[in-house]
Every structure is written in structure tokens, then in C-alpha cells.
């Protein structure tokens, strides 16, 4: 069954409306299905985009309108109408846009397919719908649709089935709408996390399933949320030194600290634990040797998260390099120096917890006498007690 995608066409030319609608109807069944809504008024277009957002929008740039001056009733051209509408829309929500215009040079700088494309009208409707297909084929509209549906379902169940039925009891217990709102936030966060990580049976979980597919994007929340530093944020201290914030979130939120505490992370190319091995391995590869430098066992231990002291974080885009976290090495920055730090990204909840747990295990190690393994084995395998066989009765 073909999924139907809602498309809003904003163009002051009703002939364009008719032509685009006719072309959509004539497309083959094997292609994406589009349900078109057409408006000629750009202000009405913005209202619809904000209040009832479609999956995609086709947007003209030039708007012909009648001048308000009664002495000048000839149509006037507004060459910024479409761009202004797009900019105002961007302040409210994200919707993929295809500019379909005769003045494509006015918005050519916005051309970044597939989520924002510019098509010149004389290029034809086939190219226009190819651009729409490219947006859908990117997979993002499907993810956004399932995400909105999942969030709406959680809110509906919580408010419609739980809060509404328990309103009097909740009020009598002193639970306010503010408390309920906070609880709903936690409920949404937990529900989304389970949908992503625990394989919850939902459209969103299936849509976001990556199986065993490893990618550095799973390590980070990027761009970082808000302007305030938080536990798990990664800041750049100097050219080759990064810090992972370990000061508790509540302390940071209420500004109750004199020193910001971090654990150090260095690019893998300069970290003492990996630098020499990496340099020698690269030298051998350059020389054509089909081997890597000795000592890779230690590096593998770090990469696998089995080193008690070190933790590996992968490079992500141009945000952070491959890094080795050293939980024994701490960085302390006075509160008045925090404003000079450059926050690069944040660790995702899972990897933030992993790094903090790694640090906790390291500092809470209990010193024990080394176990004399050979002696213990000899004791375990010592003389075997003889087995007494009872006599048979006569």
C-alpha cells in the first residue's frame, strides 16, 4: 500500500495549482502518493504550515498582488514573499521545502537537497516531483511522522486515561498540574528511550532500529541542549585537551560550585597510552608492511572498554576527534574561568553513564593481596579423599 504524504503548495497562480495537482494524479502507482493542498495567499500558507503542518511544502518565491493604493491597481511583484514565508516558518517548525519558482536565483543559496531544494519552473513537473521523492526517500519524513505519533499517543494515554480518571484523587494528594507536567516529561523521556533502546513494539521503534550497526552518532547528543553546562558535556580546554564535565547537574543548575570538575580526554594521536603505538603502526603501513606495531593488545583493551583507567570516545564529524579519556587525570576550572570554555558536544545518556561508572569503578577499587593462583590450584587439586567401598553382606 502506497503511503500518502501531505503536501502544501503555496503559489499565487491557480493554473500552477491545477497543473501540479493533475501531474500528481497521473503518476504511477509505484511512486510515492501525494495529497495536495493549494493556497494562493502567502499569509494563509504560513498559518496552515504552523497550525496544521504537512509533510512537505512546495513554495513559490515571487508573489503578484494588488497594490493598496487605489491609483495603482496594476499587479506589483513581491520577490521576497516566498523567502520571508520560509524564514518565518523556520522560526516555528521544520518542514522540508521545495522552492518551485521562476526566479530561482533569488533563493539559489538555500539549495541544500534533499530537505531544501530549489527547482526552476521551466524545468518541469517531473523534476519537481523527483525533488519531493528525494525528500521522502531520505527517510526523515517517516521518522518525524512516527515520532510525532508516538509522543501524541503517550500524552493521550497519560492525560486521557490516567489523569482524567484520577483527577480528584491526584488533587486531594496535593499533586498539581506542574507536578503532572514534570511527570509527563519523565514519562516521555522514558518511553522514547525504551522505543529506541529496548526494541519496544511500536512503529517508532521499528523505524529507529539500528540493530548491531555501530556508529559514533550513537555516542553524542549534538548539538548540545541549552546554554548551560551539564554533566557529560564535552568542552575544549586547549588545542589538544578536552574535558568531560563530572560536576553534578544539580550543582551546575543552581550555580553552587567554586570549581568545575572534569576528567581529561586527549586526541588519540597525542594521548600517551596510544600515541607511540599509533605512530609506529602508521609508519609500518606507509612502508608497505602488512602488520601493525606491537602492543596492540593494550590499545584493543582500551577500545573495548576493558581498561580500568582509559575509555575510548570516537570522532564525530568535525566536532570531536578520536579521543582517549583518562579517568585518573582531572581538570579543575575556577568558576570565573568557565565562560572561556568552548562546549563542543554532549555525551548521550548511555555513554555518559558509562564514562561516569568507569570513573567510579577506578576510584573505588579495593586493594587486595594478590591471590597466589598456583598455590590455590594445588590446594584445590590436592590429595583426593579415598572412597571406602562397603562390604557386601553374606
Domains delineated in the chain: 4-137 (3.40.50.2300), 142-208 (no CATH), 220-363 (2.30.30.110)
Q: How many residues does the chain have?
A: 394
Confidence of residue 384 (pLDDT cuts 50, 70, 90): low
What is each CA distance from 131 to 69, 94, 316, in whole angstroms?
Answer: 39, 17, 29
Q: What is the mean pLDDT of residues 280-295?
A: 76
Mean pLDDT of the chain: 87
Q: Give the mean model confidence (pLDDT) for residues 202-230.
A: 85
Beta bridge partners of 330: 263
For residue 250, how far is the Cα from the chain centroid?
Answer: 24
The confidence score (pLDDT) of residue 20 equals 95
Give the model's pLDDT for residue 71. Answer: 38
The mean pLDDT of 2-26, rounded to a whole number, is: 92
* Average confidence (pLDDT) over 359-368: 80
Q: What does the pLDDT read at residue 381?
A: 83
**How far is the CA of 5 from the CAs of 45, 55, 67, 90, 351, in angstroms?**
17, 6, 36, 20, 36
Q: Which pLDDT does position 73 carry in this prediction? A: 46
The answer, yes or no, to whether residue 322 has pLDDT greater than 80, is: yes
CA 114 – CA 131 distance, rounded (Å): 7
Q: Which of 187-196, 343-352, 353-362, 375-384 has the lowest mean pLDDT?
A: 375-384
Confidence bin at 385 (pLDDT 50/70/90): low
In the three-class reduction of DSSP (H, G, I as helix; E, B as strand; rest coil), residue 101 is classed as strand
Split at pLDDT 50, 70, 90, the class of 277 is: confident
- Maximum mean pLDDT: which of 26-30, 32-36, 272-276, 363-367: 32-36
* The pLDDT value given to residue 76: 61
Q: Enter the pTM of the model.
A: 0.77
Separation of alpha carbons 84 and 96, rounded Å: 16
Across the range 27-34, mean pLDDT stands at 78
Task: Flag whether pLDDT at 367 surpasses 80.
Answer: no
Write the DSSP symbol of residue 2.
P
CA distance 57 to 227: 32
**Residue 68 reports pLDDT greater than 50:** no
198 band by pLDDT with thresholds 50, 70 and 90: low
Q: Is the pLDDT of residue 88 over 50?
A: yes
Residue tagged 499569509 (cell numbers): 43
Mean pLDDT along residues 87-109:
94
The Cα 143–Cα 149 span in angstroms is 10
Residue 6 has pLDDT above 90, yes or no: yes
Amino acid at each position: 500500500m502506497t503511503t500518502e504524504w501531505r503536501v502544501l503548495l503555496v503559489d499565487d497562480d491557480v493554473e500552477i495549482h491545477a497543473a501540479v495537482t493533475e501531474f500528481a494524479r497521473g503518476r504511477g502507482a509505484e511512486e510515492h502518493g501525494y495529497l495536495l493542498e493549494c493556497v494562493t495567499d502567502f499569509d494563509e500558507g504560513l498559518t496552515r504550515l504552523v497550525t496544521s503542518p504537512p509533510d512537505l511544502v512546495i513554495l513559490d518565491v515571487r508573489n503578484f498582488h494588488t497594490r493598496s493604493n487605489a491609483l495603482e491597481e496594476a499587479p506589483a511583484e513581491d520577490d521576497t514573499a516566498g523567502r520571508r514565508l520560509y524564514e518565518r516558518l523556520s522560526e516555528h517548525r521544520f518542514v522540508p521545502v521545495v522552492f518551485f519558482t521562476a526566479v530561482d536565483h533569488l533563493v539559489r543559496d538555500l539549495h541544500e537537497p534533499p530537505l531544501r531544494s530549489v527547482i526552476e519552473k521551466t524545468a518541469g513537473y517531473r523534476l519537481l516531483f523527483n525533488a519531493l521523492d528525494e525528500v521522502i526517500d531520505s527517510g526523515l519524513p517517516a521518522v518525524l511522522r512516527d515520532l510525532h505519533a508516538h509522543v501524541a499517543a503517550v500524552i493521550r494515554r497519560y492525560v486521557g486515561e490516567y489523569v482524567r480518571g484520577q483527577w480528584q484523587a491526584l488533587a486531594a494528594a496535593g499533586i498539581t498540574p506542574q507536578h503532572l507536567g514534570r511527570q509527563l516529561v519523565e514519562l516521555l523521556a522514558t518511553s522514547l528511550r525504551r522505543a529506541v533502546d529496548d526494541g519496544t513494539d511500536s512503529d517508532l521503534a521499528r523505524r529507529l532500529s539500528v540493530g548491531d550497526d555501530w556508529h559514533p552518532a550513537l555516542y553524542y547528543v549534538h548539538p548540545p541542549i541549552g546554554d548551560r553546562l551539564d554533566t557529560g558535556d564535552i568542552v575544549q580546554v586547549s588545542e589538544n585537551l578536552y574535558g568531560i564535565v563530572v560536576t553534578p547537574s544539580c550543582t551546575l543548575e543552581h550555580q553552587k560550585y567554586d570549581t568545575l570538575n572534569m576528567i581529561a580526554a586527549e586526541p588519540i594521536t597525542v594521548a600517551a597510552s596510544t600515541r607511540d603505538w599509533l605512530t609506529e603502526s602508521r609508519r609500518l603501513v606507509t612502508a608497505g608492511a602488512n602488520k601493525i606495531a606491537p602492543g596492540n593488545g593494550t590499545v584493543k583493551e582500551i577500545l573495548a572498554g576493558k581498561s580500568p583507567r582509559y575509555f575510548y570516545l570516537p570522532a564525530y564529524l568535525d566536532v570531536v576527534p578520536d579521543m582517549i579519556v583518562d579517568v585518573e587525570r582531572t581538570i579543575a576550572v575556577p568558576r570565573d574561568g568557565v565562560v572561556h570554555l568552548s562546549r563542543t558536544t554532549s555525551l548521550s545518556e548511555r555513554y555518559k553513564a558509562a564514562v561516569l561508572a568507569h570513573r567510579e569503578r577506578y576510584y573505588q577499587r579495593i586493594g587486595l593481596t594478590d591471590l597466589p593462583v598456583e598455590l590455590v590450584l594445588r590446594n584445590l587439586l590436592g590429595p583426593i579423599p579415598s572412597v571406602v567401598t562397603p562390604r557386601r553382606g553374606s
